[in-house]
């Protein structure tokens, strides 16, 4: 009997009102293994009502109590780390080792971080000599919507929910319909730890039937969204005329700049990770590798050698470096980009094919890590987000050309720069059109830092105190002395 995922509404796990479900597929085997509620606007309306009802007491119970609840959730996630990692791996196709070491620990950190951060906020005061004193006051917004994607399911879901709750809001959240399982486990945990009814509501289903009703509901004051740029544009078009607060974390086409003076060994090893971690399905993956001409052949030889050594296969096998991509449709999309790259004149240096592992994963959706060269930066392969295990190699002659090529897309999420010349690194970092710049590293995250993109990679910043500001309304109070 397949497990039926339930919505969390008003503190209760419940089926969708229409009692309709759709299939949840394990991408490593191609098998249906659970059922997902096909919720509709009526479920969202019930969730919003429950959130509105919970808001007065949650927003006024004090940050210490809210902090305690967030810690309880973090403790419960940590206590179930192995089971949750297995759920995440089965639902998404990612290696179990990655879910265990990154996804689930990060969900714990998200709750712990904001449980603590909310105890360390402060307000501002401005003395207008000698006649008045102003102070700023922050209050929660009310009911807010959180919508997240499939690539880092629990990690990104909790990255929104934790600060929204910490700041005193009540939440209606929608995980991706492609990877809903750990969001369901989170709802079970919330019931278990006694989170007050209606504070967090989780509604499962498709973007059009669940996401949009959240976005357009007049009483939902803010939308925090992570996903594709096109979806972000749709959400902005719906929400902007309603003057909602919007935080949009969107796609990327990130450059990875390798200068001749870098520590080559480290640059190659990290580039393998930044290209293919999570099958290249991280918005921060560096999919355009740009190498200074004088070391191009050396970098290429070592990079290809290490990529060829990566094992693609059963995500539950601890020796697998890459698991399955998230779905058959996504596999087809990525393969179509590999075909396009060849049409555009690209030369495949390694990979390029679907993989059929022997045994239980023979019907899964796997793709070889793929490296392509001989493409200019204007072609579609280098302009459009592929979001799979595919990277291109290109060269540059000097800093100006590196910068121009790095900035030559409509996206602006993250860039890595590999150089031992700190002046160059600093100068480039100023000019890169990118919300995140990593010098001699990748995915080194401090949760206090602002996180987000420029250009079509998004609007707004998550993380640290920035996101607590997003999830609250600031007011200035002026007292005449």
Contact set with ligand NAD (CB under 6 A)? 147-151, 156, 174, 176-177, 206-208, 211-212, 215, 226-228, 231, 234-235, 249-252, 283, 385, 387, 413, 453, 457-458
Closer to ligand NAD at the Cβ: 234 or 405?
234
Kindly state the smallest distance separating residue 418's Cβ from ligand NAD, in Å: 22
Q: Rounded to an integer, what distance in angstroms lies between the CA atom of residue 459 and that of residue 450?
A: 12
DSSP character at residue 312: B
Partners of 462 in beta bridges: 451
Kindly state the smallest distance separating residue 197's Cβ from ligand NAD, in Å: 24
- Which residues have a Cβ under 8 Å from the Cβ of 291 and sit 6 or more positions away? 258, 299, 300, 393, 394, 395, 396
Kindly state the smallest distance separating residue 168's Cβ from ligand NAD, in Å: 24
Phi, psi of 93 (to 5 degrees): 95, -5
How many Cα atoms are found within 13 Å in the side-chain-facing hemisphere of 35?
Answer: 13
Structure tokens at 363: 């019907």
Closer to ligand NAD at the Cβ: 245 or 311?
245
Q: Rounded to an integer, what distance in angstroms lies between the CA atom of residue 43 and that of residue 282?
A: 31
The H or E element that residue 158 is part of is: helix 153-166
Closer to ligand NAD at the Cβ: 31 or 212?
212
Long-range contacts from 298-306, C-beta under 8 angstroms, 24+ separation: 298/264, 299/258, 299/264, 299/267, 299/268, 300/349, 300/373, 300/393, 302/264, 302/265, 302/268, 303/268, 303/271, 303/272, 303/371, 303/393, 304/349, 304/350, 304/371, 306/268, 306/269, 306/272
Q: Decide if 88 is catalytic.
A: no
Percentage helix, strand, coil for the chain under 3-state DSSP, each rounded to 5: 45, 25, 35
Q: Which of 146, 190, 262, 283 is catalytic?
A: 283
Kindly state the smallest distance separating residue 284's Cβ from ligand NAD, in Å: 7
Closer to ligand NAD at the Cβ: 172 or 267?
172
Kindly state the smallest distance separating residue 158's Cβ from ligand NAD, in Å: 13
Nearest to 197 by CA among 459, 10, 434: 10
Per-residue CA distances from 12 to 146, 180, 184 (Å): 19, 17, 12
Interstrand relation of 370-373 and 390-396 (parallel, antiparallel or unpaired) = parallel
130 cis-preceded (ω within 30 degrees of 0): yes
Kindly state the smallest distance separating residue 178's Cβ from ligand NAD, in Å: 6
Closer to ligand NAD at the Cβ: 77 or 283?
283
Phi, psi of 277 (to 5 degrees): -60, 140
CB 118 within 8 A of CB 63: yes
Q: Decide if 170 is catalytic.
A: no
Closer to ligand NAD at the Cβ: 196 or 228?
228
Nearest to 281 by CA among 354, 344, 233, 333: 333
Q: Rounded to an integer, what distance in angstroms lies between the CA atom of residue 61 and that of residue 166?
A: 11
Closer to ligand NAD at the Cβ: 209 or 376?
209
Kindly state the smallest distance separating residue 127's Cβ from ligand NAD, in Å: 39
Kindly state the smallest distance separating residue 326's Cβ from ligand NAD, in Å: 8
Q: Rounded to an integer, what distance in angstroms lies between the CA atom of residue 460 and that of residue 454?
A: 9
Kindly state the smallest distance separating residue 430's Cβ from ligand NAD, in Å: 22
Q: Which of 88, 249, 385, 433 is catalytic?
A: 249
Closer to ligand NAD at the Cβ: 307 or 325?
325
CB 356 within 8 A of CB 366: yes
Closer to ligand NAD at the Cβ: 131 or 233?
233
Residue 389 CB neighbours (<10 A):
28
Residues annotated catalytic, as ranges:
249, 283
């Amino acid at each position: 009997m397949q497990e039926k995922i339930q919505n969390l509404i008003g503190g209760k796990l419940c089926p969708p009102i229409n009692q309709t479900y759709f299939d949840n597929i394990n991408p490593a085997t191609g098998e249906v293994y659970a059922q997902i509620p096909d919720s509709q606007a009526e479920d969202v309306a019930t969730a919003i009502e429950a959130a509105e009802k919970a808001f007065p007491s949650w927003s006024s119970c004090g940050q210490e109590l809210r902090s305690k609840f967030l810690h309880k959730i973090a403790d419960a996630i940590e206590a179930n780390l192995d089971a949750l990692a297995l759920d995440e791996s089965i639902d998404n196709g990612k290696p179990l080792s990655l879910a265990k070491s990154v996804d689930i620990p990060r969900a714990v950190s998200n709750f712990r971080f904001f449980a603590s951060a909310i105890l360390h906020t402060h307000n501002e005061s401005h003395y207008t000599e000698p006649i008045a004193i102003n102070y700023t006051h922050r209050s929660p917004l009310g009911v807010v919507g959180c919508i997240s994607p499939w690539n880092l399911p629990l990690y990104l879901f909790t990255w929104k929910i934790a600060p929204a709750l910490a700041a005193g809001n009540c939440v209606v959240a929608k995980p991706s319909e492609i990877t809903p399982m750990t969001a369901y486990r989170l709802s079970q945990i919330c019931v278990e730890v006694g989170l007050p009814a209606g504070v967090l509501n989780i509604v499962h289903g498709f973007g059009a039937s669940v996401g949009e009703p959240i976005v357009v509901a007049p009483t939902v004051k803010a939308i925090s969204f992570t996903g594709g740029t096109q979806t972000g544009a749709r959400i902005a078009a719906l929400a902007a005329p309603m003057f909602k607060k919007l935080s949009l974390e969107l796609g990327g086409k990130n450059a990875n700049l390798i200068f001749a003076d870098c520590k080559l060994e480290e640059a190659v090893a990290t580039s393998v990770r930044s290209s293919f971690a999570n099958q290249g399905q991280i918005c921060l993956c560096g999919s355009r590798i740009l190498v200074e001409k004088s070391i191009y052949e050396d970098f290429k030889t070592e990079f290809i050698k290490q990529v060829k050594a990566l094992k693609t296969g059963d995500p539950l096998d601890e020796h697998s470096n890459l698991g399955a991509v998230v779905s058959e449709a996504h596999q087809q999309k990525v393969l179509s980009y590999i075909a396009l790259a060849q049409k555009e004149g690209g030369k495949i240096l390694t990979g390029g094919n679907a993989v059929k592992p022997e045994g239980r994963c023979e019907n899964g959706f796997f793709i070889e890590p793929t490296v392509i060269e001989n493409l200019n930066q204007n072609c579609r392969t280098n302009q459009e987000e592929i979001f799979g295990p595919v990277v291109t190699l290109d060269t540059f002659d000097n800093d100006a050309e590196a910068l121009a090529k790095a900035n030559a897309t409509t996206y602006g999420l993250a860039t890595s720069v590999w150089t031992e010349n700190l002046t160059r690194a600093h100068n480039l970092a100023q000019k890169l059109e990118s919300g995140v710049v990593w010098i001699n590293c990748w995915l080194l995250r401090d949760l206090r830092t602002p996180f987000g993109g420029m250009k079509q990679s998004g609007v707004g910043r998550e993380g640290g105190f920035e996101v607590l500001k997003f999830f609250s309304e600031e007011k200035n109070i002026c007292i005449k002395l």
